């Protein structure tokens, strides 16, 4: 009996047209990117870059991953989609694997806001692209503070319904004070988002009311909860004038 040798670890390319399903938060991120070269930091499965290329919203993508498991998954998915010519995968921490001015835009999604702000703060001079789309899993205030200190304006914000409300922020490098905050109470705008406050959608309104209820029994002069309650009450005045 002859036994055919079967190569192991070969990847069968799939048609490029295969539809990579994104959840609603990543669909929202996708809709805010339209670019030449896009870097997705902490990509894991690489679904966002795959859809960016397939939908023509990016010409080329760079995937950056810190951990070996997600790195292997990204390599596998990109190879199966037949998109290795369009999506390059690099191992590393945050923006460290990127060269200065290499990317036109970048995304960081599915992490805590403090982690995302830390990755942005650690980026070497000149490496951060002019457009950033960020989707933290919690209160995005550290990212909004970083943007104010670092010359990025908040040009778009979304709040996406999901396991919990997912904020999505689009930042563009621009000089001068960010006009998005003008006329708004600053602590409330940093906590809840200037565009989201002006929009006054039901998801944000529910969140602010829940914060007021939660913080009222905890608040006392000198406590952090008092400052947070003040911000929530100021936010309520903006959305319910």
Nearer to ligand SAM, 45 or 209 (CB): 45
Nearer to ligand SAM, 41 or 197 (CB): 41
Nearer to ligand SAM, 91 or 219 (CB): 91
DSSP of 143-167, one letter per residue? HHHHHHHHTEEEEEEEEE-SSSPEE
Which residues here bind ligand SAM, judged by CB under 6 A?
41-44, 64-67, 70, 93-94, 109-111, 119
Please name the helix (run of DSSP H) or strand (run of DSSP E) that holds residue 189, with its range, or none: helix 186-192
Nearer to ligand SAM, 159 or 184 (CB): 159
Query: Shortest Cβ distance from residue 161 to ligand SAM (Å)?
Result: 16
Query: Shortest Cβ distance from residue 47 to ligand SAM (Å)?
Result: 7
Q: Using N-to-C axis directions, what is the helix angle for 113-122 and 141-150, rounded to 10°? A: 20
Nearer to ligand SAM, 50 or 190 (CB): 50
| Contacting residues for 220 by C-beta, under 8 A, at least 6 apart | 226
Structure tokens at 89: 């995968």
Query: Shortest Cβ distance from residue 156 to ligand SAM (Å)?
Result: 18
Structure tokens at 101: 């001015």
Query: Shortest Cβ distance from residue 57 to ligand SAM (Å)?
Result: 16
Gap between the Cα atoms of 171 and 233, Å rounded: 26
Residues 42, 48, 52, 57, CA torsion sign = negative
Query: Shortest Cβ distance from residue 168 to ligand SAM (Å)?
Result: 11
CA-CA-CA-CA torsion for 23, 180, 239, 216, nearest 10 degrees?
90
């Amino acid at each position: 009996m002859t036994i055919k040798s079967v190569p192991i670890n070969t990847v069968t390319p799939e048609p490029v047209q295969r539809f990579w399903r994104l959840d609603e938060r990543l669909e929202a991120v996708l809709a805010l990117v339209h670019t030449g070269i896009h870097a997705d930091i902490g990509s894991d499965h690489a679904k966002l870059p795959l859809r960016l290329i397939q939908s023509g919203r990016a010409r080329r993508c760079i995937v950056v991953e810190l951990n070996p498991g997600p790195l292997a998954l990204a390599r596998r998915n990109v190879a199966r989609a037949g998109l290795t010519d369009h999506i390059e995968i690099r191992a590393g921490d945050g923006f460290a694997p990127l060269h200065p001015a290499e990317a036109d835009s970048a995304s960081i999604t599915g992490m805590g806001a403090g982690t995302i702000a830390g990755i942005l703060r650690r980026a070497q001079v000149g490496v951060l692209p002019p457009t950033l789309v960020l989707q933290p899993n919690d209160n995005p205030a550290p990212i909004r503070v970083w943007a104010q200190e670092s010359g990025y304006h908040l040009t778009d914000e979304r709040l996406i319904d999901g396991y919990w409300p997912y904020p999505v922020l689009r930042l563009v490098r621009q000089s001068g004070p960010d006009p998005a905050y003008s006329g708004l109470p600053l602590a409330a705008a940093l906590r809840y988002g200037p565009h989201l406050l002006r929009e006054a959608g039901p998801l944000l309104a529910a969140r602010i009311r829940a914060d007021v209820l939660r913080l009222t029994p905890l608040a006392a002069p000198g406590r952090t909860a008092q400052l947070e309650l003040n911000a929530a009450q100021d936010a309520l005045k903006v959305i319910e004038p």
